[in-house]
Amino acid sequence: MSHKLNIVADAHIWGVESAFSELGGFNAKLTILENRDITRQALHDTDILLTRSSTKVNAELLQGTPVKFAATATIGDDHYDKQWLDDNGIVWANAAGSSTGSVIEYMITSLLHLHVNGLINIPETTIGIIGVGRIGSALAKVCEAVGMKALLNDPPRARSEGQDAFSTLDELLDKADIISLHTPMIREGEDATAHLINQQQLNRFKGIGLFNAARGGCVDNAALLHWLDGDVSRFAALDCWEFEPSPMIELLQHPQMVIATPHIAGHSLDGKAANTLYVHQALCRFLGLDAEWDMQARLPLSPSSVDIDYSDEVWLSLYRAANTLYPLLDDHDSMKGWAECTATELAHAFSGYRRHYPVRRSWKLSPVHFDTEDAKLLQLADAFGIKIV
């Protein structure tokens, strides 16, 4: 006899119905809701809760409900009160690692955009990477492969592995030309990251550029605005914003906000599918089942190769390839187009763009063709993860 299992899931989890409507050995009832409808009352007979980042999973939501497993189909999990969940015997999971490739593609396209527009020179740039987990480690590997110097800051890893491979935050602020954040949001304690980059840190920073593809509140956005105002050579590239989905309009409007995107760096179709796969696997482990959902069967066929106009300027050719695979400026132009919106309109536009994000496939599935055998181009393309045919 199969056991009854009531599941409530966010409607915007990719492939949610195919992944969670059938679980071997259980009579699964899947209820798919919009985020605004995931309330304590809606969970009165729910065993399993599956969310995205808009749902705060805490005592206010779950107290008195029968929920015994909760998972978020996102990398970040600061919207989960993990201590309360642990204290109340509720197993939780996230999709950490699922979107690593997608975020790296965002960073590479951004760096190439800055290079061809004269804001940085990639081989001569020192990047300070704050947070050296899956994404930070992968980014460091790519940057070093294309001639950049990478300084790594990760206090927990430095304590456990030794200081030799890591730099302090002060060293990054002194030596890095650009800084890129890839940390979780930690609000208190020794390794707190809330406002990790604040007015004091920015006053010390000797470099010219700041990226945030981590969590919006890791950077004090008011301080960032002030820092940009202090020197026209400075720039920022933000995918994550404080106060999402209502970022500071003054910061969005700033002419030195050179890349502005609405938290979509991890939103490749393959990344979103992997989010669902990770959650499916975590739920199956919790239930003692073999994970049998076939993600690849649900994805469309891989795109065919694309021809890229070759330029004698290697970096421009690489940028053309990256921008063809990931039209980053489409996202940037869309968000910059909201700069005259009211705060309410901006919030709706920000959330709506994320929910209805255009299909973007992983680079490894989208080979490109250059009409050249330029050895340097092919070597750098390989380092960037661009597949050449």
Give the catalytic positions in this structure. Answer: 215, 244, 263
308 with 320: CB under 8 angstroms? yes
Alpha-carbon span 112 to 315, nearest angstrom: 7
Give the DSSP per-residue string, 188-233. Answer: SSTT--TTSB-HHHHHH--SSEEEE-S-GGGB-HHHHHHHHHT-TT
Amino acid residing at 97: G
In degrees and rounded to multiples of 5, residue 340 shows phi and psi of: -100, 5
Torsion on CA atoms 163, 166, 170, 175, rounded to nearest 10: 130
In degrees and rounded to multiples of 5, residue 319 shows phi and psi of: -65, -40
- Evaluate the CA torsion angle 240, 242, 247, 248 in order and state its sign: negative
379 with 145: CB under 8 angstroms? no
Instruction: Kindly state the tokens that stand for 374.
Output: 């330029």
Closest C-alpha to 182, from 268, 96, 94? 96
